[in-house]
Structure 1
Amino acid sequence: MRSITFRHGLILALISIHVAAVELPLERISLPPGFSIELWARVDNARQMALGRHGGNGGTLFVGSMQAGKVHAVRFDAGFKAQAVSVVASGLQRPVGVAYKDGSLYVSAVNRILRYDDIERHLAQPPVAVLVTDRLPTETHHGWKFIAFGPDGKLYVPVGAPCNICEPDPQRYANILRMHADGSGAEVHARGVRNSVGFDWQPQTGELWFTDNGRDLLGDELPPDELNHAPRSGMHFGYPYCHAGDLPDPEYGARHACREFAAPAQKLAPHAAALGMRFYTGTMFPPQYRNQIFIAEHGSWNRSRKIGYRVTLVRLQGSRVIAYEPFASGWLNGESAWGRPADVLVLPDGSLLVSDDFAGAIYRITYRG
């Protein structure tokens, strides 16, 4: 890896919000040769991203938030340059998750999923939200939710454990649910998942992969975060009995053996807070990146020496992980962080967007060779 010279994007005029136009030190970001990064848009507390329609005149990116309580829309032109940012929802409880389907925007808000119909025709005057469901747990501990529609057309919704370590009702917590777009037919798809804030489906197989954050208070090095592969419904990934496939929990581990559960496809850095992840489905990047996994590592909060604060790459051969390595790093300078990647998303031109809730920014990574 090496540092390279970057082009700085324009700081956009924000509509209905105010974010201080502080220059970001993007020259510190290290990327592989041929790649560059630019500031694409300023979005307050930017978390999960979802792409709306895209056509010859451009498109819309929707962005959730954690602390801001808002959902933003970023309009971009035919050249994939961001043009304007507006607020399409506000006053919500931790609306981290956003998903788009059939012209409607879906937003997670802890115990609720809301839907905003025909949203792109009404960005200036957003429609009244339609309640999809309010039957999710109300706890805010791991209560924020990354959401996405799968290849089966169903909405996938993770429900984190309401604690650091406990043995909650497995029908209600520590799982990934899926449901029809209208909120009906909810069922548990994966169990033993402490807190997943990112998932995607492998393009070649349609199978689910997801990140999961390991428990705290077992020291700096244990347990690692996880990248998991769920080729079928009903799999159990160990929480709270076993962590990372081979680490029995000191409190609950005697109740079940680790061999009873699915092991992670890849152990990730311990306490790096692996959040959003996507398969790279574009063609801008060189062939060796195609159908590989990018992960936003948000960064540790209680480790004696900070770790994460970067975007990593997981290389696959079929459905087997063969490498886990840094891709974009430099948001952490010693023990001081100026940015925290939260999600990644591939634009239709093949460039990669990275959201940063700490800096209130979205970056665009491109490849020119």
Structure 2
Amino acid sequence: MLKFGIMLCLAMSVLMASARSEASSVPASLQLPPGFHIDIYRDGLRDVRELALGRQGTVFVGSMNAGVVYALIDADHDGHAEQVQVVARNLELPSGIAFSQGNLYVATVHQVLELPAIESHLEHPPVPRVLADQLPYREGDHSWRFLGVGPDRRLYVSIGAPCNACEVGTGFGKLIRMNLDGSGREDVAWGIRNSVGFTWQPGSGRLWFTDNGRDLMGDDVPSDELNRLDHVGQHFGFPYCHQGDVPDPRLGAGHPCSAYSPPVWKLGAHVAALGLRFHVGGNWPPPWRNALLIAEHGSWNRTEKSGYRVMAISLREGEPTGEFPLVDGFQHDEHVYGRPADVLELPDGSVLIADDFAGRVYRVTYQQ
């Protein structure tokens, strides 16, 4: 009986080890162009969303319902983060994060917080300091934030619309910005349904952002948008006009699409385009070199799923010219293996991908 028990325990250990190995492996469905490789930078996380890079190489990760902000540390520089620290917890949807001048900034539903000199206090992080309170909030959808520090050294925050399609006035459906100490809050752009990703183009300094199109107009309309902010005060159409040329069936009357800024690229219906970054370094070949990488979280109510991939937008003289998959196959045969939420280039040119479905961060590299 003892021998049988030992054998049973050993068998169970083997099965558990096998299950752990399978759970921590890269899905076989993932497809990348020749020469590109994908591996797991860190798994065992929850609800991971926006990514930010510290001065000392720490990768910070916001989250949704997990309510925490992670710090991932690859101390031996082997492409895998062997250490994880939780630097903030018990927060309400701390999805938006940004790093600047040694400080970590976190956007929750209601607040923008600061953790000063964070990389010197990873094991004993400071209590977050409130920079801005009472961000616009109304019960409904799209209350999570994206956060960034622009070339003007100001914090930019997304304020989503609290609905699928509704009148939002001047309080919602916009981007705002403020000084790094929380002062000087002002509106930057309007007519934005739900942007969960923006970045600045190297050289021009222009802000580019994704916007998720409304639902309940069919499988193929409207498209998610890639937009560019050319000047403060632009209006991008929501809720009256979608994808630049489709009037809203209920709210569009009297609001011609020509009155609003159209997208610079249509990304496809319901792909749920989220975080995006320009790829500027490394040895990547065309068309991925200097491309704009976009995480597509994937559809939730389309008859056939769309998105669930990372796409690259090629540009010429600052204008989009084409769209190419970098990592495809996070869903295969209607089975979901992952949902990309953000991308981040590391100093060596590799790119991290946050996957909030699997609770992990991937790393994409290129080798000729």
The TM-score with structure 1 as length reference comes to 0.91
* SS state at 1:30 partner: coil
Amino acid at match of 2:350: S
Residue aligning to 2:36: 35
Contact 1:203 1:291 in 2 (8 A): no
Counterpart of 2:75?
Answer: 77
| Distance in 2 (alpha carbons) for counterparts of 1:139 and 1:357 | 24
Query: What residue number does 1:341 align with?
Result: 340
Q: Hey, what's the Cα distance between the residues in 2 that align with 1:367 and 1:267?
A: 27
Q: What does residue 213 of structure 1 align with?
A: 212
1:284 aligns with 2:283: yes
Structure-1 separation of matches of 2:282 and 2:276: 18
* 1:223-238 alignment runs, 5 A limit: 223-238=222-237
Do 1:199 and 1:210's aligned partners in 2 also have CA atoms closer than 8 Å? Answer: yes
Give the Cα separation in 2 of the matches to 1:320 and 1:73: 35
> 1:78 Cα deviation (Å)?
5.4
Q: Secondary structure at the match of 1:254?
A: coil
In 2, the alpha carbon distance for the partners of 1:212 and 1:197 equals 7
Deviation of the 1:213 alpha carbon: 0.1
**What's the secondary structure of 1:209's corresponding residue?**
strand
* Aligned-partner Cα distance in 1 for 2:223–2:311: 15
CA contact (8 A) 1:284 1:367 kept: yes
Counterpart-to-counterpart distance in 1, 2:35 and 2:255: 49
1:45: which partner in 2?
47
Percent identical residues: 50
Structure 1 window deviating more from structure 2 (206-215 vs 45-54): it is 45-54
- For each residue in 1:98-146, what CA deviation from the matched residue of structure 2 results, as whole angstroms up to 9, or x when unmatched? 1011111101111101111111111111101100111212335211011
Question: For residues 152-231 of structure 1, what are the structure 2 equivalents within 5 Å?
Answer: 152-170=152-170, 172-231=171-230
Contact 1:202 1:291 in 2 (8 A): no
Superposition deviation, residue 63 in structure 1 = 0.1
Quick one: which amino acid aligns to residue 147 of structure 1? L
| 1:299 corresponding residue in structure 2 | 298
**Cα distance in 2 between the residues matched to 1:232 and 1:312:** 26
Are the equivalent residues in 2 in contact too, given 1:353–1:362 (CA < 8 A)?
yes
Q: Is the 8 A contact 1:103 1:117 kept in 2?
A: yes
The whole-number CA distance in structure 2 between the counterparts of 1:258 and 1:24 is 47
Q: Secondary structure at the match of 1:53?
A: coil
Gaps of 5+ in 2: 1-19
User: Does structure 1 conserve the Cα–Cα contact (< 8 Å) formed by 2:111 and 2:133?
Assistant: yes
* 1:240 maps to 2:239: yes
Structure 2 residue identity aligned to 1:274: A
Partner of 2:11: none
What residue identity is the alignment partner of 2:24?
E
TM-score, normalised relative to structure 2:
0.91
Could you tell me how far apart the structure 2 residues matched to 1:38 and 1:206 are?
32
Find the structure with the greater CA-based Rg. 2
Q: Is the Cα contact below 8 Å between 2:29 and 2:331 reproduced in 1?
A: no
- Tell me the CA shift for residue 169 of structure 1: 2.0
The equivalent of 1:264 in structure 2 is 263
Partner of 1:151: 151
3-state DSSP of counterpart to 2:119: helix
Question: Quick one: distance in 1 between partners of 2:276 and 2:224?
Answer: 13
Bigger share in strand: 1
CA contact (8 A) 1:284 1:366 kept: no
SS of 2:55's equivalent?
strand
In structure 1, C-alpha distance between the alignment counterparts of 2:260 and 2:202, rounded to whole Å:
25
SS at 1:259 equivalent: helix
